[in-house]
Amino acid sequence: MIFDDKLFEKFGVEYAPNEIIFCEFEPGNEFYFIQSGQVKIVKIINNAEKTLDILETGEFFGEMAILEEAPRSASVIALGHVKLFRFHRDNFETILHGNPQLAYKLLMIFAKRIYDQKRRLMILLLEEPQLKVMDVFNMLAEQDPHLDLQEAITLKITPAEVSSWAGMQPKDVQKVLNNLNQLGKIELFNDKIIVKNIRDFQRVVTSKRKNLYS
């Protein structure tokens, strides 16, 4: 789905390699569509820039600005020379009416995000710190259908990311991780965590969740 030049005249912006398109924590009112080129989504985690994703022609970013004005959750940086469409929240509906393909793409993104965020909500609703951390692992395991859950699984996640998903202080997460490590349930590395028996974690969380409701 590539738009014509007329639309580009109105909404087009170009960025040079390495230029920041928007920065984590700045307020956002616009969402972007990549007309050509690549951008990287990054976050500063533990004093290091971590690339979360690379997006290409035809993809969106910053779409959460459509819903509410909230600080950006990550920074976006141009990888090479990029051409983008930049749309303000206020003319969201007008743009969609003229570009149903774009609207459909957003519908898919929102559907996916509703699921992901609901899943995170389920983690946040658990009360015990240990359960929250376990459920972050469960969630990651669910996201990768190729994992063999009967075996030990390797999850590409850092303690900082676990604390962000679980909505916990890093030091509390570290406590839980150390404890699980000592019990031999997980192995900790700098950039990954190995979970020995994810089925076990799933069972524990499921049964606690049922108790929570009753």
Partner 1 sequence: MSNGFNKPASNILTRTYKHGSIIYFEGDRSDVIYILKAGRVVLTSIKVDTGEEIKENIKLGEFFGVKSAIGHYPREETAQTIGDTTVLVVGRADFEKMMIKNVSLLTKMLRVFSNQLRRIHKMQREILGEGETINPATELFKIGEYYFKSGNLQQAKYAYKRYLEHYPGTKFSDLAMQRIKTIDTGGSNTDFQENAPLESEDDFDSRSGNNVDLTDFSIDNESSSDDSGSQEMHDFFSDDGGDNILGGSSYHKEAIPTRQKDITEMFYEAVSLFSQERYKEALPLFQKILNIKTLKNDSENRIFEKAHFEIGRCYLKLNNIKDAITYLSTMIKKFPRSDNVKNAFLHIGMAFESAGKTDKAKAYYEKVISMEPKDSITKIAMKNLKAI
147 contacts partner 1 (rule: CB under 8 A): no
CB of 49 to partner 1, least distance (A): 7
* Closer to partner 1 by Cβ: residue 90 or 191: 90
* Closer to partner 1 by Cβ: residue 95 or 188: 95
Q: How many positions of this chain bind partner 1 (CB under 8 A)? A: 64
Contacts 24+ apart (CB under 8 A), 113-118: none
CB of 183 to partner 1, least distance (A): 27
Instruction: Quote the crossing angle between the two packed helices 170-182 and 159-166, to the nearest 10°.
Output: 120
**β-sheet with 193-195: strand ranges across:** 153-155, 193-195, 186-188
Among 54, 124, 152, 194, binds partner 1 (CB under 8 A): 124
- DSSP class of 167: T
15 closest CA partner among 88, 75, 90: 75
Site for partner 1 in 176-205 (CB under 8 A): none
71 contacts partner 1 (rule: CB under 8 A): yes
What are the residues whose beta carbons fall under 8 Å from the beta carbon of 84, sequence distance 6 or more?
12, 13, 14, 15, 21, 32, 33, 34, 35, 37, 39
* Closer to partner 1 by Cβ: residue 170 or 200: 170
CB of 157 to partner 1, least distance (A): 19
66 contacts partner 1 (rule: CB under 8 A): yes
What are the residues whose beta carbons fall under 8 Å from the beta carbon of 101, sequence distance 6 or more?
1
Site for partner 1 in 89-108 (CB under 8 A): 90-91, 93, 96-97, 100-101, 103-104, 106-108
52 contacts partner 1 (rule: CB under 8 A): no
Quote the strand ranges of the chain, DSSP E: 12-15, 20-22, 30-36, 39-45, 48-55, 60-61, 75-78, 82-88, 153-155, 186-188, 193-195
List residues near partner 1 by CB under 8 A.
8-16, 18-20, 23-27, 29-30, 44, 47, 49, 66-68, 70-71, 75, 77, 86-88, 90-91, 93, 96-97, 100-101, 103-104, 106-108, 110-115, 117-118, 120-122, 124-125, 167, 169, 209-210, 212-214
